[in-house]
């Protein structure tokens, strides 16, 4: 028996780099608070700035070392036992019967030392149950073998490692699509909000510095308006660059591997992430067409999983960051053939249009009017309510529902256009609601819920025909396995074929 294999049955510690990893994760988790604290402190003359910075990082490092020292793990008799906690001692036991998914990933720090991180998800849990931050790849693979709940998980010395299941299909993200995905990423708004938050904290320092005065005199602007317009443009460019490189590094080396019972998604340039998605945990699929990507004919495909998906534990997983709309159905047929993806559905009645237009324009028009008269703005400001009106019309055009035996399609739009495919046996709840105004117009809102991560996920379509809502409820109430066919849609000029990407009208 190998020495390191024998040690798997005895308590052992992680690699010491786990102490640094723990300290960095604490910094990352409290980054905004730390920045605000340091910026506010830096403005005070009595604040020992450098001492606080050095002391803070030293404290975090001590916490990381203490956590590393107190973290012990072993695998014995098909059970993972973890001891952790500095002041409160925690004992975690995970039997192989409960283990659902084991992901082996490597961040930048782990890769520098030839190490990996092991995340373990258990049945009945919607978040990561256990994580070992820094161990060798050999130990990670052995933990994976010892905890796999199948016939290969024999701990005898002569047991051969389970042969790696050969992938049925593999998909990669071409360089051209990766660049387009990075250029049109929806994280641009997030990057802009982060920059705005940071700038709001450091702006008092900049405005009082010599750098500010130098820039103000150097920039080719003679008025405050042009100067601040230049600052806004610089902000937008920085936010776009931040979003571009963030997406580029996150989805570089993207690879989707389809196996018999699961799919494996790996991505990342510097920090390599790996997500394993068993087919029996997929709850829904939705295709998002962003504001910029839709005119270009591209979309992204997402999964909702009963387990964790991203770092936040939402259950949402990017199945493919960017794909041509004309190729979405063929891609889904190869990856998740069990989902029905094309069926007849209903668009909204014409009387729903005024509600969409009203909701989209009321507040925008009111705010524009206040700004126009208060600040005496140019008449061009009224183009904003016109754009809101157009946006309401787009939302009305996008909304539709479809149902067939055992499946639903919900299509709607907020900023991006979303088409959700849900199998009936995955639906947690289907709700039909009516406001007094909808009741007057004989309309309703349909909302469908599926399990996803810690919080679940819902898809809704507003202002559908009340009669259509009743049909949806009847479809849900059909007994599982019933041979009764769905009621055919009566002849109606609102009947459309969903998802409709191949239709010329779309």
CA-to-CA dists, residue 50 to 20, 41, 53, angstroms: 21, 10, 5
Q: What pLDDT was estimated at residue 447?
A: 94
Q: Are 457 and 283 in contact (CB under 8 A)?
A: yes
Q: Are 128 and 119 in contact (CB under 8 A)?
A: yes
Q: What pLDDT was estimated at residue 236?
A: 80
Mean pLDDT, rounded, of the chain:
80
CA-to-CA dists, residue 406 to 12, 102, 343, 482, angstroms: 50, 31, 11, 10
- Out of 124-138, 327-341, 459-473, which region has the weakest mean confidence (pLDDT)? 124-138
In this prediction, residue 159 has a pLDDT band, given cuts at 50, 70 and 90, of: very low
Angle in degrees, CA 38, 242, 267, rounded to 5: 110
* Residue 315: DSSP 8-state: -
Q: What pLDDT was estimated at residue 279?
A: 87
Secondary element (H or E) of residue 73: strand 72-76
pLDDT above 70: residue 201: no
Classify residue 186 as exposed, middle or buried by CB count within 10 Å of its CB (0-12, 13-18, 19+).
middle
CA distance 307 to 276: 10
Taking each helix axis from N to C terminus, what angle separates 17-29 and 49-70, rounded to the nearest 10 degrees? 130
Beta strands in 157-196, from DSSP E residues, in sequence order = 169-172
Q: What average pLDDT score do residues 139-164 get?
A: 61
Burial 24-46 (b: 16+ CB within 10 A, else e): bebeeeeeeebeeebbeeeeeee
pTM (2 d.p.): 0.76
In this prediction, residue 240 has a pLDDT band, given cuts at 50, 70 and 90, of: confident
Q: What average pLDDT score do residues 478-488 get?
A: 56
Sheet holding 400-404, edge to edge: 316-324, 298-305, 282-289, 417-423, 407-413, 400-404, 343-347, 495-498
């Amino acid at each position: 028996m190998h020495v390191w294999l024998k040690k798997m049955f005895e308590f052992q510690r992680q690699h010491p780099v786990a102490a640094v990893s723990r300290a960095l994760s604490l910094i990352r988790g409290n980054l905004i608070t730390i920045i605000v604290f340091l910026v506010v402190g830096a403005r005070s003359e009595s604040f020992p700035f450098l001492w606080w910075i050095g002391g803070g990082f030293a404290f975090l490092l001590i916490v990381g070392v203490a956590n590393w020292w107190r973290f012990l793990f072993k695998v014995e008799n098909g059970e993972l036992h973890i001891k952790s906690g500095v002041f409160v001692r925690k004992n975690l036991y995970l039997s192989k019967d409960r283990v659902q998914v084991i992901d082996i990933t490597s961040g930048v720090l782990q890769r520098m030392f030839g190490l990996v991180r092991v995340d373990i998800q258990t049945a009945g849990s919607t978040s990561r149950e256990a994580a070992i931050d820094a161990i060798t790849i050999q130990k990670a693979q052995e933990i994976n073998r010892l905890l796999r709940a199948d016939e290969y998980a024999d701990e005898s010395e002569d047991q051969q490692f389970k042969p790696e299941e050969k992938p049925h299909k593999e998909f990669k993200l071409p360089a051209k699509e990766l660049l387009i995905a990075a250029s049109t990423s929806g994280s641009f708004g997030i990057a802009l909000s982060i920059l705005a938050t940071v700038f709001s904290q450091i702006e008092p320092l900049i405005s009082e510095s010599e750098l500010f005065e130098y820039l103000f005199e150097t920039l080719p602007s003679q008025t405050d308006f042009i100067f601040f317009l230049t600052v806004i443009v610089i902000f937008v460019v920085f936010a776009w660059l931040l979003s571009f490189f963030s997406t580029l590094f996150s989805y570089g080396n993207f690879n989707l591997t389809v196996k018999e019972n699961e799919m494996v998604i790996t991505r990342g340039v510097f920090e390599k992430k790996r997500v394993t998605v068993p087919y029996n945990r997929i709850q829904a699929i939705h295709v998002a067409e962003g504001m910029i990507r839709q005119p270009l004919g591209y979309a992204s495909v997402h999964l909702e999983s009963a387990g964790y998906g991203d770092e936040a534990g939402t259950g949402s997983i990017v199945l493919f960051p960017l794909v041509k709309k004309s190729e979405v159905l063929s891609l889904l047929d190869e990856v998740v053939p069990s989902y029905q993806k094309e069926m007849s559905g209903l668009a909204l009645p014409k009387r729903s249009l005024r509600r969409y237009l009203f909701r989209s324009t009321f507040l925008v028009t009111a705010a524009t009017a206040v700004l126009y008269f208060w600040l005496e703005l140019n008449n061009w400001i009224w183009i904003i309510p016109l754009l809101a009106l157009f946006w309401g019309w787009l939302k009305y055009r996008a909304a539709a529902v479809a149902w067939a035996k055992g499946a639903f399609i919900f299509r709607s739009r907020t900023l991006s256009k979303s088409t959700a495919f849900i199998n009936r046996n995955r639906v947690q709840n289907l709700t039909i609601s009516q406001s007094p105004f909808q009741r007057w117009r004989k309309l309703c809102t349909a909302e469908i819920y599926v399990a996803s991560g810690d919080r679940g996920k819902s898809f809704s379509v507003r202002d559908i025909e009340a009669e259509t809502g009743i049909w949806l409820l009847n479809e849900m109430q059909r007994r599982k396995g019933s041979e009764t066919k769905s009621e055919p849609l009566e002849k109606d000029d609102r009947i459309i074929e969903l998802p409709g990407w191949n239709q010329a009208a779309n």
